């Protein structure tokens, strides 16, 4: 027994004395850094009392693989560490307690990666100053690449100072507990991770930040396979989140991706109060979740237009559904130099409360009672080639667009009601009341394809003047039976137009604004009860009207015409083709060859 006692005592002295003496030398640190391009570990002091349980001061660990670089630092740490596992690119720790901890992660990238522009915003990783990796023909195949895995269990962190991942940065003094297993491209598990902080700052992307007076969450995520990880894996998630603080609207830009078409949705403005409370059970947001945010003097860039005003965002989970609404009140609506005042612009989005359904959020964008005090601002959105300029008028714009998620599309109605309108063309002046209803049957956010079939334009109680004569109490009603814009198609624009007018004169005035017509054509323009039907196709070299028919009380016309830019005045179009004109018992064929017009026999004119 005496020998056994001395043996045990000698073994204890050898272990505690020898190992602690060894830890006091530079040798362990040198051993840990035998593969510095993969892992580096440094500390100021280390010792052990319980076998395999170490206490460390000023711990600094840096790890990298081909995809990421990670830095973990702690003022003090104790627990069951396995530092030799770093040689196998595994960071393993159990029963860990850390003081003053920071965690930083930044992605590695190849030369030419678009993220190179943001290198200065990425966290510095001690020991690995270069984030751009060299891609050569001698790199190992993907199947041979080894990545860092992290296995932490029963972890307690006092004073978590910083989590900096890519361009998102948290700073504070949080209390954290729980565990995690992370194997890149394979597995992720979170075990009872609890986070609480009463004074935190979160930067989404510089310079937008949120300051929290309360930030607490708890998360459990069962084993999830990362090679197939997506929203569907969130059915394994349990937890809750409570936060209260202040932030500027730009902070929310990074979290709007679940609204279809939100690529064009951006917010800027003053800071305001933000609060959120929600619980998640097996991947579903429980009823009772609440979101609120408000800010003043906010600039909101919606798809197709912007709005400046006071912003209120509210959200709730009720009846198994999530609903979020953003409202800009007393808004100045802008598109270019066009400005309208609207009491309310809103974007409402909703989805099933299941987290995997978040990408299927549908939304409604509404613009109510936007008033245009001066219609001359419409010149900003009229193409220069239209030959029309608004000289006077006031109006009201209303719009409602439904945004669908998959595929990302929009449909709805945009209407303009205007009075006391004066429009000048190159040939005439038209004054009266105008009503425009643009029916957006489909807009594809990916391709830009637009279908506005069914849109209408009404001009009523109009007066038309060509400088020599006036026509009063005129009307012109147009309907776009088919109107399809395909930016990537062979024919960018295809339409079928049906138009009626009280007299040919206002119609002639509109056409003459864009097309070089012979002066003699105006002599036949004074004819009532007009109906015009035409097909229009936009082509690379101009506009094709393969089928044109016009009837009025005294004139009937049919034919096919191609409109091309005039060499002398490119803003004007010249007609090429022919029409047959029937005036009473007279049938006349007219052929157009740019500025050359000739009269031929009707049979010589192709009508299709």
Tell me: the pLDDT tens digits for 462-473?
888 876 677 788
Yes or no: say if 196 and 175 are a contact pair by the CB < 8 Å rule: yes
Q: With residue 151 as reference, give the H or E element that holds it.
A: strand 149-165
**All residues at 6 or more sequence positions from 502 whose CB lies less than 8 Å from its CB, including other chains:** 473, 474, 475, 476, 528, 529, 530
- pTM value is 0.76
C-beta atoms surrounding 554 within 10 Å: 14
Q: Where are the beta strands (DSSP E) in 447-492?
A: 450-451, 455-465, 470-485
Yes or no: say if 64 and 128 are a contact pair by the CB < 8 Å rule: yes
Q: What pLDDT score does 427 carry? A: 65
Radius of gyration of the chain from Cα atoms? 36
Interval 103-124: pLDDT, tens: 999 888 888 787 788 888 889 9
Q: What pLDDT score does 6 carry? A: 65
The phi-psi region of residue 412 (left if phi > 0; otherwise alpha if psi is between -120 and 50; otherwise beta) is: left
**477-490: buried (b, 16+ CB within 10 Å) or exposed (e) per residue?**
ebbbebbbbbeeee
| Three-state secondary structure call for residue 595 | coil
Tell me the pLDDT band of 518, cut-offs 50, 70 and 90: low
Tell which residue, 191, 211, 189, 187, has the closest CA to residue 200: 211
Q: What pLDDT score does 137 carry? A: 40
Q: What pLDDT score does 521 carry? A: 61
Q: What pLDDT score does 535 carry? A: 86
Q: What pLDDT score does 299 carry? A: 87
**All residues at 6 or more sequence positions from 249 whose CB lies less than 8 Å from its CB, including other chains:** 267, 268, 269, 270, 272, 295, 298, 300, 311
Mean pLDDT of the chain: 82
Share of the chain above pLDDT 70, in %: 84
Tell me the pLDDT band of 76, cut-offs 50, 70 and 90: very high
Tell which residue, 165, 70, 59, 58, has the closest CA to residue 127: 70
Yes or no: say if 433 and 459 are a contact pair by the CB < 8 Å rule: yes
Yes or no: say if 179 and 154 are a contact pair by the CB < 8 Å rule: yes
Average pLDDT over residues 274-291: 93
Average pLDDT over residues 262-289: 87
CA distance linking residue 431 with residue 473, whole number of Å? 10
CA distance linking residue 393 with residue 377, whole number of Å? 10
Instruction: Output 6 or 555, whichever has higher pLDDT.
Output: 555
Encoded tokens for 52 = 């395999």
What φ, ψ does residue 9 adopt, rounded to 5°? -65, -40
Average pLDDT over residues 491-513: 79
Share of the chain above pLDDT 90, in %: 23
Instruction: Output 180 or 83, whichever has higher pLDDT.
Output: 180
Q: Do you find a cis peptide bond into 407, omega within 30 degrees of 0? A: yes
Residue 31 vs residues 35, 88, 206, 268, 472: alpha-carbon distances, Å: 9, 13, 39, 52, 97
Average pLDDT over residues 516-521: 61
Q: Is residue 568 predicted with pLDDT exceeding 70?
A: yes
Q: Is residue 280 predicted with pLDDT exceeding 60?
A: yes
Tell me the pLDDT band of 140, cut-offs 50, 70 and 90: very low
Q: What is the DSSP letter of 13?
A: I
3-7, 73-77, 295-299: the lowest-pLDDT one? 3-7
Counting DSSP H helices and E strands in the chain, the numbers are: 4, 34
Q: What pLDDT score does 142 carry? A: 43
How many CA atoms within 13 Å lie on the side-chain side of 220? Answer: 8
CA distance linking residue 223 with residue 537, whole number of Å? 57
Interval 422-446: pLDDT, tens: 887 766 788 889 898 999 999 888 7
CA distance linking residue 295 with residue 147, whole number of Å? 44
Yes or no: say if 368 and 398 are a contact pair by the CB < 8 Å rule: yes
Q: Is residue 329 predicted with pLDDT exceeding 80?
A: yes
162-176, 407-421, 532-546: the lowest-pLDDT one? 532-546
CA distance linking residue 48 with residue 32, whole number of Å? 17
Yes or no: say if 505 and 512 are a contact pair by the CB < 8 Å rule: no
* Cα angle, residue 320 at apex, residues 223 and 293 outer, rounded to 5°: 90
CA distance linking residue 494 with residue 484, whole number of Å? 5
């Amino acid at each position: 027994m005496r020998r056994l006692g001395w043996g045990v005592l000698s073994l204890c002295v050898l272990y505690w004395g020898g190992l602690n003496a060894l830890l006091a030398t530079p040798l362990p640190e040198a051993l840990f850094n035998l593969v510095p391009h993969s892992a580096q570990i440094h500390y100021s002091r280390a010792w052990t009392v319980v076998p395999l349980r170490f206490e460390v001061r000023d711990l600094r660990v840096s790890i990298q693989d081909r995809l990421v670089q990670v830095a973990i630092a702690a003022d003090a740490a104790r627990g069951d560490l396995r530092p030799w596992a770093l040689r196998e690119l595994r960071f393993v720790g159990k029963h860990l307690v850390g003081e003053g901890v920071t965690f930083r992660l930044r992605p590695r990238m190849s030369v030419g990666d678009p993220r190179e522009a943001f290198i200065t915003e990425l966290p510095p990783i001690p020991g690995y100053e270069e984030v751009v990796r060299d891609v050569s023909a001698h790199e190992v195949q993907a199947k041979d690449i080894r990545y860092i895995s992290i296995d932490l269990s029963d972890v307690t962190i006092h004073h978590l100072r910083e989590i900096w991942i890519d361009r998102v940065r948290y700073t504070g003094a949080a209390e954290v507990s729980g565990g995690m297993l992370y194997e890149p491209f394979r597995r992720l598990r979170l075990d009872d991770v609890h986070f609480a902080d009463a004074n935190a700052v979160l930067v989404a992307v510089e310079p937008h930040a949120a300051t929290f007076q309360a930030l607490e969450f708890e998360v459990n995520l069962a084993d999830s396979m990362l090679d197939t990880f997506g929203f569907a894996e969130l059915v394994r998630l349990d937890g809750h989140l409570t936060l209260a603080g202040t932030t500027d609207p730009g902070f929310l830009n990074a979290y709007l991706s679940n609204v279809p078409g939100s690529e064009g949705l951006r917010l800027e403005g003053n800071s305001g109060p933000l609060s959120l409370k929600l619980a998640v059970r097996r991947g579903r947001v429980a009823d009772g979740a609440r979101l609120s945010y408000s800010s003043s003097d906010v600039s909101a860039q919606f798809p197709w237009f912007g709005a400046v005003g006071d912003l209120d965002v509210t959200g709730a989970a009720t009846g198994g559904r999530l609903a979020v609404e953003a409202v800009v009140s007393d808004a100045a609506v802008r598109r270019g130099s066009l400005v309208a005042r609207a009491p309310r612009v809103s974007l409402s989005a909703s989805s099933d409360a299941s987290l995997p359904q978040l990408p299927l959020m549908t939304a409604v964008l509404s613009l109510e009672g936007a008033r245009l005090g001066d219609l001359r601002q419409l010149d900003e959105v009229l193409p220069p080639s239209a030959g029309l300029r608004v000289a006077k008028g006031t109006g009201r714009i209303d719009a409602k667009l439904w945004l669908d998620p998959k595929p990302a599309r929009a449909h709805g109605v945009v209407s303009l009601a205007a009075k006391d309108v004066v429009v000048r063309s190159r040939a005439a002046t038209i004054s009266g009341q105008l009503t425009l209803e643009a029916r957006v049957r489909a807009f594809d956010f990916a391709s830009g394809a637009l279908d506005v079939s069914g849109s209408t334009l009404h001009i009523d109680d109009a007066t038309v003047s060509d400088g020599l004569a006036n026509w009063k109490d005129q009307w012109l009603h147009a309907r776009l039976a088919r109107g399809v814009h395909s930016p990537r198609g062979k024919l960018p624009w295809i339409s079928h137009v049906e138009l009626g007018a009280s007299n040919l004169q206002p119609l002639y005035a509109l056409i003459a604004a864009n097309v070089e017509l012979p002066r003699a054509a105006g002599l036949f323009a004074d004819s009532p009860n007009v109906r015009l039907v035409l097909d229009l196709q936009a082509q690379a070299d101009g506009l094709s009207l393969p089928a044109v028919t016009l009837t009025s009380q005294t004139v009937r016309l049919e034919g096919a015409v191609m409109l091309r830019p005039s060499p002398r005045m490119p803003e004007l179009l010249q007609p090429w083709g022919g029409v047959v004109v029937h005036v009473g018992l007279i049938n006349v064929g007219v052929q157009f060859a740019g500025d050359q017009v000739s009269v031929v026999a009707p049979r010589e004119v192709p009508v299709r």
